[in-house]
Amino acid sequence: MKVTKASLADGRDIIYYDEEDDAARRLVDTRDLSGAPTLHSEVRYDPLLKEWVAIASHRQSRTYQPPTSDCPLDPSTPERATEIPSYDYDVVVFQNRFPSFAQGVPPVLDRVDDEPLLVQKPGEGRCEVVCFSSDHNASLGDVSPRRMRTIVDAWADRTAALNALEEVSHVFPFENRGSEIGVTLSHPHGQIYGYPFVPPWTARMLASAAEHHDQHGTNLFEDLLHAEQRSGTRVVTASEHWTAFVPATARWPMEVHLYPNRRVRELPELDDAQRDDFAHVYLDVLHRLDGLYDLQMPYVSGWNQAPAGGDTLGAEHAYLHLRLLSNRRGPTKLKYTAGSESGMGVFINDVAPEMQAASLREVAVR
């Protein structure tokens, strides 16, 4: 894989990941970006839930569902310059122009309205965009296993780079697909968030893993994986290196978790065999999702991995895994986070996990 680094007109980083060593990319960004948005990102601590909330008002002006002809993630052409200066690419990563977290954001006062309970700090961190293909009309499920492997390598490379930043506490590569799930750009792409704190779900899972290890001397994630493997009723597909299953406690009408059969803590620790195998298993899962109702399944898919630094409670027990969820509960029905979910955080699933897994196993994969 060839890695080429360059800068956009406003100084943001852009990195090309190419499958051929002789790939030549156009690196000069000819746009005038002198009117770049001023970044106003801060995080405020909720003392009731003990969680950080990000406030990023500049994102209100971000690009929202533009026509295909104006997609900022397409390759540039002689007639139109985009976020990607090259006229073609395999996989490309660049800093988000409208980031939730960023480096060099303006300082803020330690308290909101000088109230001791209302703690705040700058929203320092980093947000990157990952384009999976130069084909605007493609989807991640359409790429080849080789391209999927390139994407995995890019995720791993950027995880290592962001973990090394002082302001980043946790790295989260993810993809949102489909307007039904809230996607604002239809080009096949994902994002990578470098949070300035450990997100609450990760913190809770690691705390549970630490407690489980103290009580039983084993790894909680590993024990859950082995339980699903022994049962088999919720396993969707499996290979030498990966197992994909619907968790027994699935919150969404379609939810699949992918675990490597050999525990690693973060993406950079995956070996070549695991990366190659993931490319095939993940594409198998995506094909099953799209074949279930014979339409493109909307989903959110993201990696849970160890925090940066390793000083978070339970971090030594982390187990890299991917969690994919969809709000589609039928060919014409969507699930919304309504009263119980939004108001109390209690999910009510209309589709039994065992039914989810069985329906996905029955899909004929191309």
Work out the pLDDT band at 310, boundaries 50, 70, 90. Answer: confident
CB 256 within 8 A of CB 285: yes
What pLDDT is attached to residue 366? 64
- Give the residue-averaged pLDDT of 336-346: 93
The reported pTM is 0.96
What pLDDT is attached to residue 65? 81
- Give the residue-averaged pLDDT of 68-73: 93
Compute and round to an integer the Cα radius of gyration of the chain.
21
What pLDDT is attached to residue 240? 98
CB 138 within 8 A of CB 188: yes
What pLDDT is attached to residue 365? 74
Which amino acid is present at 226?
H
Residue 189: active-site member: yes
Round to whole Å and give the CA distance between 160 and 157: 5
- Of 88-92, 143-147, 166-170, 310-314, least confident by mean pLDDT is 310-314
- Give the residue-averaged pLDDT of 170-186: 93
Q: What is the pLDDT of residues 47-66, one digit of tens each?
A: 999 999 999 988 887 877 88
Parallel, antiparallel or unpaired: strands 242-245 and 235-238: antiparallel
Q: Is the pLDDT of residue 274 over 70?
A: yes
Q: Is the pLDDT of residue 35 over 90?
A: no
What pLDDT is attached to residue 10? 93
Q: Which of 58, 170, 187, 189 is catalytic?
A: 189
Q: What is the pLDDT of residues 239-248, one digit of tens each?
A: 999 999 999 9
- Give the residue-averaged pLDDT of 172-198: 95
- Residue position matching structure tokens 């549970």: 208
Least Cα distance to 185 among 70, 59, 56 occurs for 70
CB 258 within 8 A of CB 234: no
Q: What is the pLDDT of residues 7-24, one digit of tens each?
A: 999 999 999 999 999 999
Domains of the chain, start order: 2-198 (3.30.428.10), 201-361 (3.30.428.10)
Q: What is the pLDDT of residues 126-169, one digit of tens each?
A: 999 999 999 999 999 999 999 999 999 999 999 999 999 999 99
Cα separation values, 323 from 98, 240, 257, Å: 25, 19, 5
Q: Is the pLDDT of residue 249 over 70?
A: yes
Work out the pLDDT band at 68, boundaries 50, 70, 90. Answer: confident
* % of the chain with per-residue pLDDT over 70: 99
- Give the residue-averaged pLDDT of 213-221: 98
